[in-house]
Each structure stands twice: as C-alpha cells, then as structure tokens.
Copies of this chain bind each other. A is one copy, B any other.
Amino acid sequence: MSRLDFFVGRLTSQRAALNYAFGLIDGVPGPVVELGLGNGRSYDHLREHIKNRRIFVFERNVGAYPDCTPPDQDLILGEVTENLPRAVELVGQPAALLHSDLGSNDKPATKKLYERIAPGLRAALAKGGILVSDQPVETAGLEPLTAPDVMPGRYFIYRAI
C-alpha cells in the first residue's frame, strides 16, 4: 500500500466518519468543536453540513485557506492542552460533536498527546455527543462506534456515555 493509498483511505474514512456523525447528533444539544484546523478542509465540510450550530475551532497557528478560516469569534487560539480542559467554559456548553484531528507524522508524540487529552475530549462532550478522531482514544465515558466506509484503524468514532 503506497502513501497515496494510505492517504486516500484516511481522507475517505475521515469524511465517512464525519458524515455518519452528522446523523447521530440530531437529538443532542450543543455546538460543534474542531480541534486542529489545518488547511480548513474538514472545517469546510462541517460548515457545509451543519447549518444550525456554531462551529468552534481550537488551533495554535491558523494556516487555512482564507475562505476556510472561521470567524474570529469562533476561533479559540492557543495550545489544545491548555484550552481543551476549559472547552465547556470557552464555548459555553458541552459539544454535540467534537472532531479531533491533531495527529502528526511524529507517532510517539501523537500518542502521548492523545493520552494526555483523552479525558478532556470526553469532558468537552455532551452526553450522547460524538467524538470523531484521527487517533484512537481510550478513556472512561467514551464507547467506540463503527461506521460504514470508515476503514478500521484509519479514523475513529466514539459516543459519550
């Protein structure tokens, strides 16, 4: 499997996971939170499919396409390790959907980061809310879900219980 194959699998799985999550949050109150804006592709996808909720983005350095950059009032600048534990306070209420896309090519650092933020991911979510993540997350209060077209190990979905 080439890097191209792998990346296609990752992106199609990301999209399938997000699309699946959209159907799961209908009855769950709260905004959407994205951790990691990147170039804004998935933010644009969230924005296109979720019209009736605010979408907050936590990011350290904004480097997205200008037309995929959130408005200032929806952008929470700073370190996710500092801001995620305060997420409910920062965005006003627990989130219905949380998309975390913080992994890098540094696998050990990515693993460490996710171990550190795992409880904060759960804490940022309303009960019944959905976490879509580029990395596996193990913490109390999150149950893994499987979704159509999401390749195992390539993207991850959890429900807050």
Does A48 belong to the interface (CB within 8 Å)?
yes
Copies in the assembly, this chain:
2
**A40-B105 Cα distance, complex, nearest whole Å:** 14
Cross-chain contact of A3 among B2, B12, B49, B65 (Cβ < 8 A): B65
- Is A8 at the interface (CB under 8 A from chain B)? yes
A3 to chain B, nearest CB (A): 4
Chain A: interface secondary structure? helix
CB-based contact B15/A11 at 8 Å = no
Q: Which residue on chain B has the smallest CB distance to residue A64?
A: B3
Given the complex of chains A and B, what is the CA–CA distance between A44 and B143 in angstroms?
Answer: 36
The complex places the Cα of A68 from the Cα of B5 at a distance, in Å, of 14
- A105 near B65: Cβ-Cβ < 8 Å: yes
